[in-house]
Amino acid sequence: MVDFVHPFPGKNPGDSLTKAEIIRALRLSLSAEEEATQLYDLIAEYVDDEKIKKIMKDVADEEQVHKGEFQKLINLYDEDEVEKVEEGLEEAEEKMKESKEVRKLAEDLQSITKYASELDHVQQFLESIKASGGDLDFALQQIDLIKSGDMANLHDSAIHLIDLRRSIESTDELTNFFN
């Protein structure tokens, strides 16, 4: 015979329960519903018989409803429960937001690194123009500013370089370089 968990060791039917014992029993019930859901989902995943698969999925869905019922009872008996859950949801949301921000920063850093490499090529090209007699000191200064990582001037420097590129884009050598 299967030995089931007894939520009230040392208690007999008819004995009064403390609030803590009731909450503990409800949490045990909630946990049992989660375990049952996992079991039924696994059976449905592994079994080939479509009738069994359909019934197991349906029973697993019913267990989810039971979980909601037990959670509602826990919320009623444990005044701090809703507050704790809300706090946990807020923390999770904050961490996900931080994670998105970290991912965005990593992407930005990767882009900056890529552009720094491309700027090296642009800088070499502009230096060759300067060596041939062109006056591109301003463009070279803007590239140095961007490569230095001076984020305050990054946007302005990039705009200046785009404007410079547009102004001299008609030359065959520059057009070929950027293609």
**pLDDT tens string 125-179:** 666 666 655 556 666 666 666 666 665 566 566 666 666 655 554 444 544 555 4
If you average pLDDT over residues 21-30, what whole number do you get? 91
The answer to whether the CB of 65 falls within 8 A of the CB of 49 is no
Q: Tell me, yes or no, if the pTM score tops 0.95.
A: no
3-state helix, strand, coil split of the chain in percent (to 5) is: 80, 0, 20
Q: What is the dihedral of CA 72, 74, 79, 83, to 10 degrees?
A: -70
Q: What is the pLDDT of residues 42-81, one digit of tens each?
A: 999 999 999 999 999 999 999 999 999 999 999 998 988 8
Q: Is the pLDDT confidence value at 36 over 60?
A: yes
The tokens for 171 are: 């030359």
The answer to whether the CB of 90 falls within 8 A of the CB of 114 is no
- How high is the pLDDT of residue 68? 93
